[in-house]
Amino acid sequence: MGKLHSQAMFFQARAAEKVANPILQRALQKAKPLFVGKRAKGIGALADDRLEFEQLRSACVDIRNRVLSDLDVWLDIFESQAKATGAEVLWAKDGEEICELVIDVARRHGVTKAAKSKSMLSEEAHLNEALAAAGIQPVETDLGEYIVQLAGETPSHIIAPAVHKTLDEIADLFTKTHGRPRQTDIPAMTREAREVLRQHFLSAEMGISRCQFLIAETGSAALVTNEGNGRMVTTLPKVHVVITGIEKVVPTLEDFATLMRLLPRSATGQTISNYVSLLTGTRRPGDTEGPEKTVFILVDNGRAKLLGSAYQEMLRCIRCGACMNHCPVYFSLGGHAYGWVYPGPMGSVLTPLFTGLENALDLPHASTGCNQCGSVCPVRIPLPKLMHQLREDQVTGGMRPWSERFALKAWAWVAGKPALYHWVVRRAARYLKWLADDSGRIRVLGLAPGWTVGRDLPAPAGKTFQELYAARKRD
């Protein structure tokens, strides 16, 4: 697990901590109705143009299934089209290789600063740490990612990375970092960040972005943002690196247009995002702007092995975030409780699949069985069914022996009692030992990332998370 730095093993412990955090709870409670209401409005507006959600959904499912069932062919077509436009296409097996490739490209082009547009794959790879260690300054430019980077944290939501942060916390961060008088007016704070980040856009030699889709027909990257930072990092720096998963291919521009009728609506309720860019190759003859070098890094990191498996449907995911925006568990805990890059229902499926089922034993249990996620997913991924399948795999894999269940029941009992829990937290390293079975499997429980020395936390019992959640709800 070392390479993946997953904290997903400690979901249950973190869950109790998050439920007890009033600042986090305030931030989440403010966000939830906004997310749900906006999506409902966006999807509802389809009827104005006589479009039907279910019909569009089926079309999106078909597009994604068409690609996945012949992914070898579509990757081949994408690669040759992208190369024909002058882009370089590289492949990375895992996060470590992503870092190596990016650093190598940076060195070849004398890069000292990289401006980044939100990229979850770069989180999978811990790219910022690797860049910094190689002497290259990474600057996150999506406002939410920037806030999270200043705080030394990781994103807690794939669309709204700083959803867990309150205005006051952000104001403090800006005051500390920007050395300007403290402001709490949101437009003024946005303005301040714009001014600071503009200088980074102009001075970075490399732009790093994700892309929502790879278009096979044209060899293009489709990049969707609202802030315009995606356009900045793909226009101003002399080198542009796109980091994306191998499953992101779609066949044609028309297929892309179909997916775009549901992606922004599902994510933020918008009919379209402010900026949708199709990026094809490099600076053309006569152009006086745009990158001189464009590099695609196509990443596996656990994706290929899902093809042909019981979990292939998960690869249809277009990362809209609707499943977490409608998840009662997510909104009780926030994204950090999930311990790895992807939170919410999609994370509860992806994290065990990408990092290993044995490393994320709690996550498939982070469900109330309400199927809100499944009913909003624009590509109809049966998330509760996949989580159920993962639980069965845990049982058949012998990952949940009785002794461990017993230990975790004991832990859940402690975690469910706030006063005792806090007492335990303060003395964790010393006192939690009594919870361990006689092989001493619990060494240090993961109460916070820094505390988590061991990784031998045993499996939780099937119901404990739900019991904990239900108990909190009754409070």
Partner 1 sequence: MSSRDDILKRVRAGVGKDDFARRKAVAEAYMAAHPRGPQPTLSNELATRFQAKAEYLSSTVEQIETMSDAPAAVARHLASLSLGVQAVATPDVAGLAWVAAGLDVSGRVAVDADKVGISGCFCAIAETGTLLLLSGPASPATVSLLPETHIALVPVSRIVATMEDAFALLRAERGSLPRAANFISGPSRTGDIEQTIVLGAHGPCRVHLIMVKG
Select the residue interacting with partner 1 from 4, 19, 160, 337 (CB under 8 A). 160
Q: Mask 359-378, x = binds ligand SF4 (CB under 6 A)? A: -----------------xxx
Q: Mask 278-297, x = binds partner 1 (CB under 8 A)? A: xxxxxxx-xxxxx-------
If one asks whether residue 352 binds ligand SF4 (CB under 6 A), the answer comes out as: no
If one asks whether residue 228 binds partner 1 (CB under 8 A), the answer comes out as: yes
* Overall residue count recorded for the chain in this entry: 475
Closest approach of Cβ 374 to ligand SF4, in Å? 9
Select the residue interacting with partner 1 from 234, 244, 351, 367 (CB under 8 A). 234
Please report how the helices 253-268 and 53-69 are oriented relative to each other, as an axis angle in degrees rounded to 10. 120
How far, rounded to the nearest angstrom, does the alpha carbon of residue 315 sit from its chain's CA centroid? 14
- The span from the CA of 363 to the CA of 257, in Å, is 34
395 binds, options partner 1, ligand SF4, none, Cβ within 5 to 8 A by partner type: none
CA angle (378, 384, 385) in 5-degree steps = 100
* Nearer Cβ to partner 1 (273/464): 273
Select the residue interacting with partner 1 from 107, 180, 182, 305 (CB under 8 A). 305
* Nearer Cβ to ligand SF4 (43/323): 323
- The span from the CA of 215 to the CA of 222, in Å, is 7
Select the residue interacting with partner 1 from 16, 24, 106, 306 (CB under 8 A). 306
- The span from the CA of 431 to the CA of 177, in Å, is 38
Asked if residues 116 and 122 have their Cβ atoms less than 8 Å apart, the reply is yes
- The span from the CA of 248 to the CA of 212, in Å, is 7
If one asks whether residue 55 binds partner 1 (CB under 8 A), the answer comes out as: yes
- Kindly tell me the sign of the dihedral angle through the C-alpha atoms of 445, 449, 450, 454: positive
- 105's enclosing H/E stretch is helix 95-108
Q: Mask 139-158, x = binds partner 1 (CB under 8 A)? A: --xxxx--x-----------
CB count in 10 Å sphere of residue 434: 8
CB count in 10 Å sphere of residue 353: 20
Q: How many residues bind ligand SF4 (CB under 6 A)?
A: 13
If one asks whether residue 349 binds partner 1 (CB under 8 A), the answer comes out as: no
Select the residue interacting with ligand SF4 from 43, 125, 211, 322 (CB under 6 A). 322
- For residue 32, give the amino acid letter: K
**Strand 275-279 with 249-250, pairing:** unpaired
Cα Rg of the chain (Å, integer): 22
Asked if residues 279 and 86 have their Cβ atoms less than 8 Å apart, the reply is no
390 binds, options ligand SF4, partner 1, none, Cβ within 5 to 8 A by partner type: none
**What are φ and ψ of residue 138, in 5° steps?**
-90, 130
* Nearer Cβ to ligand SF4 (216/322): 322
* Nearer Cβ to ligand SF4 (224/317): 317
* Nearer Cβ to partner 1 (222/373): 222
**Strand 239-245 with 293-299, pairing:** parallel
If one asks whether residue 381 binds ligand SF4 (CB under 6 A), the answer comes out as: yes
The CA–CA distances, whole Å, from 126 to 2, 34, 120, 163, 357 equal 12, 30, 10, 21, 21
Q: Mask 23-52, x = binds partner 1 (CB under 8 A)? A: ----x--xx--xx------------xxxxx
If one asks whether residue 321 binds ligand SF4 (CB under 6 A), the answer comes out as: yes
Select the residue interacting with ligand SF4 from 318, 407, 444, 457 (CB under 6 A). 318
273 binds, options partner 1, ligand SF4, none, Cβ within 5 to 8 A by partner type: partner 1
How far, rounded to the nearest angstrom, does the alpha carbon of residue 229 sit from its chain's CA centroid? 18
379 binds, options partner 1, ligand SF4, none, Cβ within 5 to 8 A by partner type: ligand SF4
Q: Which stretch binds partner 1 (CB under 8 A): 254-262, 328-336, 345-353, 461-469?
A: 254-262
